Amino acid sequence: MAAETDLGPARFVQPLFVHAGSGDRPIDALPGRSRLDLDGLVRTAERLLAVGVGAVALFPAVDESLKTRDAAECLRPDGLVPRAVQALKERFPELVVVTDVALDPYSSDGHDGLVADDGRVLNDETLEILAAQALMHARAGADVVAPSDMMDGRVAAIRDELDGAGFTDVSILAYTAKYASAYYGPFRAALDSAPRAGDKKTYQMDPRNRREALIEARLDEAEGADVLMVKPAGAYLDVIAELRAATSLPIAAYQVSGEYAMLAAAIGRGWLDERAAVTESLIAIRRAGADLILTYWAEKAAGWFGPAAG
Ligand code: PBG
């Protein structure tokens, strides 16, 4: 009764990787996780709903042959993501489907924005594409679009585009404080999306900065974000707490692939107890102030709490 922090599956968003091939393809760097085909995706969603997880975030593993410098594949209305969204919403209208808005899975440069010949990532030129990508996801039925690209001004550009097309009810979950982190390694391996040259430090945040997260939060809120996200989660609990205090919007935190991989590796060797260690990691994120948690443990952890936990 006196516990200060509660946790349950209703707080979780399960990130899922999809691919256009057939069958489910295990991801080496994320033990227990696979790139799913559309059938696998639908089956997974059914299991998630059954244990009380009501939301998924989709990430496409795009065939190398479709990656180009202009990332044009990200705008194709019959591409992998729109087909995945349609498959899910057709079967489970109540499932909250979150799509990732960024160019990196489609870019032969492996960057979240367009890359100039001299290697610079082009902020303003990218905004139009991101807005069009978000609109395409909304048309396919996405409930929430989540720009993870960290270009300046993209929340406003996306909000304008969605509202202009009548999608006023589609929400924006902004990756507000997304740090240039080593913990994204397994995710990039899963999508083969690591930058081909340079790094993401010109648009993702410097791990040394905390006040900068407040600046990003103010901008995203003013531009019309519905949820603000901190990413990664475990190494940035102070930033989660800071944003929680600074805004009335819901705060999300993303326990990213590297955090999952570290836990899974130690658990796999018998060095950590899975249930105890994962629960503690999630409680810490919630205690810091996250309302929503994106975690690769969502389905498994939900089973530990039960749907009644809320
Ligand atoms: C890129 C994106 C990344 C993640 C989500 N969206 C990686 C990156 O910025 O390179 C990482 C998620 C994870 O590591 O689990 N748009």
Ligand 1 pocket test target in 121, 148, 193, 263 with most atoms within 8 Å of CB: 148
Using the predicted structure, report yes or no on whether residue 306 has a pLDDT greater than 90. Answer: no
Query: Which of 159-163, 168-172, 191-195, 234-238 is least confident?
Result: 191-195
Residue 89 annotated to the active site: no
* Residue whose token pair is 């410098």: 69
- pLDDT for residue 208: 98
Smallest CA separation from ligand 1 atom 7, residue: 184
Average pLDDT over the chain, rounded to an integer: 96
* Residue whose token pair is 């990508």: 133
Using the predicted structure, report yes or no on whether residue 309 has a pLDDT greater than 60. Answer: no
Evaluate the CA torsion angle 13, 181, 136, 151 in order and state its sign. positive
Rounded Cα distance, 82 and 111, in Å: 21
Rounded Cα distance, 265 and 261, in Å: 6
- pLDDT for residue 305: 81
What are φ and ψ of residue 57, in 5° steps? -120, 125
- pLDDT for residue 264: 97
- pLDDT for residue 172: 98
Range 173-180 average pLDDT: 98
Range 57-82 average pLDDT: 97
Helices 237-246 & 274-288 angle (0-180, nearest 10) = 30
Contacts of 197 (CB under 8 A, 6+ apart): 109, 119
Domains identified in the chain and CATH numbers: 9-309 (3.20.20.70)
- pLDDT for residue 68: 97
Q: pLDDT, tens digit, for every residue of 17-43?
A: 999 999 999 999 999 999 999 999 999
Q: CA torsion, points 279, 285, 288, 290, in degrees to nearest 10?
A: -120
Taking the centre of ligand 1 as the mean of its atom positions, its distance from the CA of residue 144, in whole angstroms, is 17
Q: Which atom of ligand 1 is nearest to the CA of 296?
A: 15
Smallest CA separation from ligand 1 atom 8, residue: 184
Q: How many residues does the chain have?
A: 310
Taking the centre of ligand 1 as the mean of its atom positions, its distance from the CA of residue 4, in whole angstroms, is 31
Q: pLDDT, tens digit, for every residue of 119-137?
A: 999 999 999 999 999 999 9
Exposure pattern of 261-282 as b/e (b: 16+ CB <10 Å)? bbbbeebeeeebebeeebbebb
Smallest CA separation from ligand 1 atom 9, residue: 184
Taking the centre of ligand 1 as the mean of its atom positions, its distance from the CA of residue 3, in whole angstroms, is 33
Put simply, whether the predicted model's pTM sits higher than 0.90 gets the answer yes
Q: Which atom of ligand 1 is nearest to the CA of 148?
A: 16
pLDDT band at 308 (very low <50, low <70, confident <90, very high): low
Q: What is the CA radius of gyration of the chain?
A: 18
Contacts of 108 (CB under 8 A, 6+ apart): 67, 68, 69, 196
User: One of 67, 89, 200, 231 is an active-site residue; which one?
Assistant: 231
Task: State the complex-level ipTM.
Answer: 0.97
Residue 67 annotated to the active site: no
What are φ and ψ of residue 296, in 5° steps? -70, -10
Q: Which atom of ligand 1 is nearest to the CA of 178?
A: 9
- pLDDT for residue 100: 98
Taking the centre of ligand 1 as the mean of its atom positions, its distance from the CA of residue 257, in whole angstroms, is 8
> Where are the extended beta strands (E) located within the chain?
12-19, 25-26, 34-36, 55-61, 96-101, 114-115, 121-122, 144-147, 171-178, 227-231, 251-255, 292-295
Q: Is 94 annotated as a binding residue?
A: no
User: What proportion of the chain, given as a percentage, has pLDDT over 70?
Assistant: 98
Taking the centre of ligand 1 as the mean of its atom positions, its distance from the CA of residue 1, in whole angstroms, is 37
Rounded Cα distance, 184 and 80, in Å: 22
178: which strand partners? Answer: 231
Rounded Cα distance, 71 and 114, in Å: 8
308 vs 273, more confident = 273
Evaluate the CA torsion angle 134, 289, 190, 90 in order and state its sign. negative
- pLDDT for residue 47: 97
Structure tokens at 159: 């909000």
Range 82-87 average pLDDT: 98
Cα angle: 16, vertex 97, 24; to 5 degrees? 25
Q: Taking the mean position of all CA atoms in its chain, how far away is CA 122?
A: 22
Q: Which atom of ligand 1 is nearest to the CA of 183?
A: 14
Smallest CA separation from ligand 1 atom 6, residue: 148
DSSP string, 237-259: HHHHHHHHHH-SS-EEEEE-HHH
Find the residues whose C-beta lies inside 6 A of ligand 1: 100, 102, 104, 112, 148-149, 184, 187-188, 200, 256-257
